[in-house]
Homo-oligomer: A and B are copies of this chain.
């Protein structure tokens, strides 16, 4: 499938349209809303399912030497991307150092739903990928936060960093659940997967639709409330940074010799921006940074960009580059 067909077929998938519905409803100020507890429960489900399936995939196909390499690449990318992002932001936007650093931290980290959407596209195209990419995703969540704080510290501003915060970041619920369910999937393997696949495989796409509906609602509400908080430069950053991150992921993936699917997922991880773990850490460590800047960019600009245009783009690029 060519890039355009891919993009088109992606755009009219139920999950993208569900996101669009949520976005439209929020922008039109409908009172449609998902209870907080339900949204959290769905996100636990998605993390558990994606982690478990990744682990079961590793159990099924075995591990080659690239696991360690991929984990290391993930670490390096998560540390490195914020510096690139910070530099780009300084050029494109008028954000303060602290705001720019906070945003940069978000782009080094990852959005697990973007990752999940990418795996869905791979699956629908019957393209295989390394099951351990889930572990790479988990590993990429936290390091970017340190880079962001380091950037701030270097400019002489004080970030509130204590031992408690480090533990909070590393033992963040989504990291623990992703890694934990990955390990459970690995240990219990095909047999374990067979036992619970009618829970974590069959209804997965449908649950994802409801979650994206909610994300559309939250993103739309955010866009509506932060009108004016983002300049043109910042919005441009939100669309330019993902392909740049993806290019870094592409290079790493090719170096490691990942499969086409694996390269595409690493690109997606590098291209995506956090909207759960990093915002919470930033509120603690960089309270002066304006949350409506980083949340709107991450959830209102970059997330939809990746979901609609980014993912097909990364898949085409990965296919071309790996000759897959």
Contacts and interface: CB of A to CB of B under 8 A. Distances in A.
Contacts of A66: none
B171 A31 contact: yes
User: Oligomeric state, in number of copies?
Assistant: 3
Contact of A171 (B17, B30, B198): B30
Interface in A243-289: none
Interface stretch (A37-45, A78-86, A129-137, A142-150): A37-45
A204 to B, nearest CB: 8
B200 A206 contact: yes
Contacts of A30: 171-173, 176
B14 A172 contact: no
A176 B181 CA distance: 34
A28 B44 CA distance: 18
A173 to B, nearest CB: 4
Nearest to A40: B35
A177 interface: yes
A13 B195 contact: yes
Contacts of A21: 176-177, 180-181, 183-184
A191 B23 CA distance: 23
Interface string A52-91: 1000000000000000000000000000000000000000
B17 A209 contact: no
Give the bracket for the number of chain A residues in contact with chain B.
35 or more
Nearest to A11: B187
Contacts of A48: 209-210, 213
A320 interface: no
Given A44-B34, A180-B21, A13 B188 contact: yes
Contacts of A12: 187-188
Interface string A22-38: 00110011111111111
A203 interface: yes
A213 B40 CA distance: 14
A27 to B, nearest CB: 11
Interface string A194-230: 0111111011111101100100000000000000000
Closest 6 pairs between A and B when the two form their complex, measured CB to CB: A199-B206, A32-B173, A38-B41, A35-B37, A196-B206, A198-B202
Given A13-B188, A196-B209, A199-B209, 10 more contacts: A14-B195, A17-B184, A17-B188, A25-B171, A31-B173, A37-B37, A44-B210, A195-B206, A200-B206, A202-B203
